[in-house]
Amino acid sequence: MIFYSIQELLLLAIAAIVLDWIIGDPKWPTHPVIWIGRLIKGLERLLYPRDNAASPITVKLRGCLLTLITIGVSWGMMTLIVWLADAIHVWLGYALSAWFISTTLAVKGLKDAAMLVYVPLTQGNLTAARRYVGYIVGRDTDSLSEPEAARAAVETVAENTVDAFLSPLLFALIGGAPLAMLYRSANTLDSMVGYRNEKYIHFGWCSARLDDVLNYIPARLTGVLMVAAAAMLPGMNARRSWRSIRRFASLHPSPNSGIPEAAVAGAIGIQLGGVNRYFGVESERARMGWKSRELEPRDIRASISMLYAVSIIALAGLGGVWLCLL
């Protein structure tokens, strides 16, 4: 395994953030996350019990095996690739490491996905907005109102500021591209099998719990950075953002997602959460923030501004630490 110094890891993380800002998340067939998704699907077909009489513990154990194989293969393959690249030339190792870390980030990808909802909403095309909301959330979208479509986009940007930026960045700072890819594989597992429905309640248990553990510290750090971002951005309220975290974050069913959602809701002055529908069944989601008005398309832009502000603060912080270590 390639061991980088702290200074090298800092520079790799900085380069990865810039690459993500510029290139984003291209849907190439060779994109690592696509291959991770294919691995998960193949393992699921192999490991998911075909016998409906299988006990919950058996299903959980098979799901744990799915999790262990997926993160092990992701970490192992990434380690091998970086080692081979470094053996050819150290700068090739640096370049591939920075690029692979950038593929675990998705600041530009989040912005692009949210803007696909924002643009048709501003044009009065609710049908198109609903369709694009369906690309980023699992809830029913056919009957979403304009405020509900805007809420779905804002919640996605807020929650994924942790999953698609700060968490992989922190793991990259600890263990380079291999550990960042291990995190991305765990997060992909959660998004594919970590549901509390009849099919995955047991099979996806290990994946969901692992994702909760890995995001625990990054989610709390994201909350702090979001409050700082609110203090920097015009029209945002940092004090209300902090109060919202303390008041509402623990009400969310996820131990982590409530923090960024509450922070964004408080900063902008809106209320997130409410009634969602999944396959026609209503699900009540805890409210985050104090409702002063209905959500509007401009709130999507505001959440994107917070996302980029958090990434800028992180970049500046990494650069400052690197300079101090010179």
Q: Any bridge partners for residue 284, and if so which?
A: 275
Collapsed DSSP state (helix, strand, coil) of residue 162: helix
DSSP one-letter code for 5: -
**Which residues share a beta bridge with 276?**
283
- 137 pLDDT band, cuts 50/70/90, is confident
Contact, 105 vs 168, CB < 8 A? Answer: yes
Res. 29: pLDDT tops 80: no
Spatial distance between the Cα atoms of 184 and 104, rounded to a whole number of angstroms: 6
Tokens of 300: 């999507």
The single residue listed with the structure tokens 């692992």 is 210
- Report the distance separating Cα 56 and Cα 188, nearest Å: 23
Query: Rounded to a whole number, what is the largest CA-CA distance in the chain?
Result: 62
Q: Which tens digits make up the pLDDT trace of 288-326?
A: 999 999 999 999 999 999 999 999 999 999 999 999 998
CB atoms within 10 A of CB 99: 16
Sequence-ordered alpha helix ranges (H) in the chain: 6-23, 32-47, 56-88, 90-104, 107-122, 126-136, 146-161, 167-193, 205-232, 238-248, 258-268, 297-325
- Considering the entire predicted model, what is its pTM? 0.94
**Tokens (6 digits) for 29:** 């067939």
- Of 295, 297, 241, whose CA–CA distance to 273 is shortest? 295
Q: What is the pLDDT of residue 2?
A: 67
Both structure tokens of 155? 């919640």
Q: Nearest to residue 99, comparing CAs of 80, 75, 82, 116?
A: 82
pLDDT tens figures, 228-282: 999 999 999 999 999 999 999 999 989 999 999 999 999 999 999 998 887 777 7
Task: Give the span between the Cα atoms of 289 and 297, in whole angstroms.
Answer: 18
How far apart CA 176 and CA 179 sit, in angstroms, is: 6
Mean pLDDT of 173-179: 97
Which residues, listed in sequence order, are joined to residue 272 by a DSSP beta bridge?
288
